[in-house]
Structure formats: structure tokens, C-alpha cells
Amino acid sequence: MVNTQELKTHVTEQTKRMVQALVAQHGFTEAAWLRRLVETTLQAANPNFAADDSGQRRRDRPNRLTIQVSADDHDLLEARAEARYLAPSTYVWFFLRAHLRALAPLPSAELGALKRAVAELAAIGRNINQIARAVQQSGRAAGPEHQELVALLKVCEGLRDHVKSLIKANLASWEIGHAAPTDH
């Protein structure tokens, strides 16, 4: 990591409020605005000055991203995050990362569990189908009747299809809006 030093100053309360308003208006933090101001001033005083370490410093550590959303969008965000048992910031992180890297936005543990469940249901369905065929061919059953096995097979297939549609709906929910956008 690039070695950095801290610059400090004290300003009047009025100056502080003005800086806060300015940085909020432009979406900066006070530290980022001050760093940019210092670097711009140094660049103007010395054209050979290059603040080339800031990009490296940023890549060496996780970055915080602050965004503003309308109250309606925040309510939707909280509802969607809560439905997935995630914090809103984690939900946004999954969504952003999935978009930037073209990944499945379902958390990998959950997606893996759903895929394993679908595979297990398919295997159970195949086994029940084989048992049903064997019972039908032999004409006698030492266990469940043919109709019971067929009904159980239909339940497994329905459950498998339901889990598949859950996965599909989850993926689609990350791509489309929850409700029609409102006019602001």
C-alpha cells in the first residue's frame, strides 16, 4: 500500500457548513474533495506534479460507495433485501457485483443449495419412476400401490418444477423493477 500522510486544518463553522453543502451537492466526501483541491492546487503550482499514487491506493483496499435513493426506492430496497434475509447494503452489493461481472445474483450458497435440491428431486423422481415401472411390469406390489407411486412422482416433479421456477423468478427479479417507477 502507498504510504500516505494526513493533512489537517481548522475552519470556521460557516466554512465547514459551506464545504459540507458543496461536497453533498457533488457527491464527494469531504476527504475526497479536500484531496482533489490539494492535488489541483499543487498541479497548478508545479506542472510536473503527478498525484499518481491515488489510483493505486484505491485498488489496495475495499472502497465505500455512498448513494442517495428516493424514499420509495429505499422502501423497495429494504423489502427486497428483507425477502432474501440480507441487509440492504449486502443486497445492493450482490446486485452491483452481479451486473458488473455478469454473475448469478443469488448468493452462491443459496444458488448451490437450490441446484442440489433440483438434482436430488430429479434423482428421487427417476428412482420412483423405476419402482413404478417394476411394480407395473410384475403386477404385484410389496410396498406402495402403483397409483401412490405415480402420485408421489407427480409431487416430486411439481416440487422440482417449483424450485426451478423459483430460481428463474429470483434471477428475473434482479433484472426488472418491483413496481412501475413513480414520477419524481
What is the reported pTM? 0.36
- The answer to whether residues 95 and 35 belong to one domain is no
Q: CB–CB of 1/61 below 8 Å? A: yes
- CB count within 10 Å of CB 129 equals 15
Whole-number Å distance between alpha carbons of 139 and 176: 52
48: containing domain: 13-59
- The answer to whether residues 44 and 54 belong to one domain is yes
Query: How confident is the model at residue 12, as a pLDDT?
Result: 93
- The answer to whether residues 82 and 124 belong to one domain is no
Structurally, how many domains does the chain consist of?
3
Q: CB–CB of 105/174 below 8 Å? A: yes
Query: How confident is the model at residue 172, as a pLDDT?
Result: 67
Please state whether 76 falls in left (phi above 0), alpha (psi between -120 and 50) or beta.
alpha
Q: What is the pLDDT along the chain (184 residues), one digit of tens a residue?
A: 457 788 888 999 999 999 888 887 776 778 888 888 888 888 888 888 876 555 555 556 677 888 888 999 999 988 888 777 778 888 888 778 877 877 766 666 677 777 888 888 888 888 878 877 887 887 766 666 778 778 878 888 888 887 887 777 766 665 555 444 444 4
- The answer to whether residues 115 and 165 belong to one domain is yes
Whole-number Å distance between alpha carbons of 59 and 37: 21
- The answer to whether residues 90 and 116 belong to one domain is no
